[in-house]
Amino acid sequence: MAPHGDRTSTEVVVPVDRTGGEIIVLPPDSGFLGNFLDDVHNMFRARAMRMKGLLGRINESGQRTEALLRMAAERMEVAEAGLEDDLQKQGLASASR
């Protein structure tokens, strides 16, 4: 076996119960490590749920802003056309449309 500092990632450390002579191999998701991995998984899942909610609100806000800007642009075009018509009626602008 390689010295402690030279272990490769494929080596497996197996805890041995020397009193009974049996080798007990624990599943990788048991004990402290399993609890830690579950906690990390739950933390990332909760973060993803929060981010999904925040992104949903941002999307709705962006859609409302876009609708308001489109409405403002339409009103501005109507007001500009009305002003041009009024100026032409009064003879202050030429009819060069």
pLDDT of residue 1: 44
Residue 3 lies in a domain: no
The CA distances from residue 42 to 30, 55, 77, in Å, are 16, 20, 52
pLDDT of residue 11: 53
Residue 52 lies in a domain: yes
Number of domains composing the chain: 1
What whole-number distance in Å separates Cα of residue 82 and Cα of residue 69? 20
Residue 70 lies in a domain: yes
Domain span at residue 63?
Answer: 31-89
Mind listing the pLDDT tens digit for each residue in 30-84? 778 788 888 999 999 999 999 999 999 999 999 999 999 999 999 999 999 999 9
pLDDT of residue 18: 61
Residue 81 lies in a domain: yes
Residue 57 lies in a domain: yes
Residue 63 lies in a domain: yes
What whole-number distance in Å separates Cα of residue 96 and Cα of residue 80? 15
Residue 10 lies in a domain: no
Residue 73 lies in a domain: yes
